[in-house]
Amino acid sequence: MKTLLITGATSGIGKACAEVFANGGNKLILTGRRSDRLEELKHQLSDQCQVETLCFDVRNRNEVKEQLSDLDARINHLDILINNAGLAAGKANIDEGELDDWDQMIDTNVKGLLYVTKALLPLIKKSQQPHIFNIASTAGKENYLGGNVYCASKHAVDALSKSMRIDLLPFGIKVSNIAPGMVDTEFSLVRFKGDKEKANAVYDGFTPLYAKDVASVIHFASNQPKHVNINDLVITCTAQANSFYTHKL
């Protein structure tokens, strides 16, 4: 049995991770901003495992500290942190991008990940099998037209995974960078600000990854022997070669 904290568990990859890890009778701490969805998920999973929900915005460093600082009164260690909360906002070329979109992506994908990790490291260091998963992206490996700040934020996640692996070596903490290609979640709906037509078009004409595909890879990586760490994984659907080439019918 492991104790996990998953950020951004209200949808997509985070929710799928909660569902996959609930199976092993693990203890789950699920976070996100939408309290109704957190409650729903808790209700869905609580006959399989112990579930606690925490509702906060990873961009708000005070909220992060407040919500996570007293966790040590309820758990004595954290085995797995899945830094998943994140988004793309807009897909405009750099000369036309919105400053608010840029702030939101950098504050969530980079600073939020840092705030959460920093707050939880004391509990992670107390685990016998500590493992941090950072959800990066193929956008953190290659840039594409209009990806600019989102790509930069995911390159930053990639760099932070490498740095965490170095800095946390003395504590035996595994750090895995997970870089999926296109996954059919609410990601594109969020990116295109609720425009369903634009969002659906992203996944038209091919079979994309589904959130549970990514979750099962994370589950596999978390179950390797103590001396084995999967450092970096790029996962795409079969129809996608990289950020530029997708075979659409």
Residues serving a catalytic function are 150
Distance CA 185, CA 169 (A): 33
Which of residues 32 and 181 has its CB atom nearest to ligand 8X3 in the complex?
181
What, of ligand 8X3, ligand NDP, none, does residue 130 touch, CB below 5 to 8 Å by kind? Answer: none
d(CA 58, CA 67): 10
Which residue in this structure is represented by tokens 């957190």?
38
Nearest approach in angstroms of CB 111 to ligand 8X3 is 18
Q: How far is the CB of 84 from ligand NDP (least distance, A)?
A: 5
Query: Binding of ligand 8X3 at residue 138 (CB under 6 A)?
Result: yes
In sequence order, the β-bridge partners of residue 50 are: 27
CA torsion through residues 87, 7, 81, 43, sign: negative
User: Among residues 226, 137, 109, which one has the least CA distance to residue 174?
Assistant: 226
For residue 130, count other CB atoms closer than 10 A to its CB.
21
Binding characters for ligand NDP, 114-143, by CB under 6 A (x = yes): ---------------------x-x------
Considering only residues 169-188, where is the footprint of ligand 8X3 by CB under 6 A? 181-182
Which of ligand 8X3, ligand NDP, none sits in contact with 113, Cβ below 5 to 8 A by type? Answer: none
Find out whether 180 and 236 touch, Cβ atoms under 8 Å: yes
Residues of this chain that interact with ligand 8X3 (CB under 6 A) are: 137-139, 147, 181-182, 243
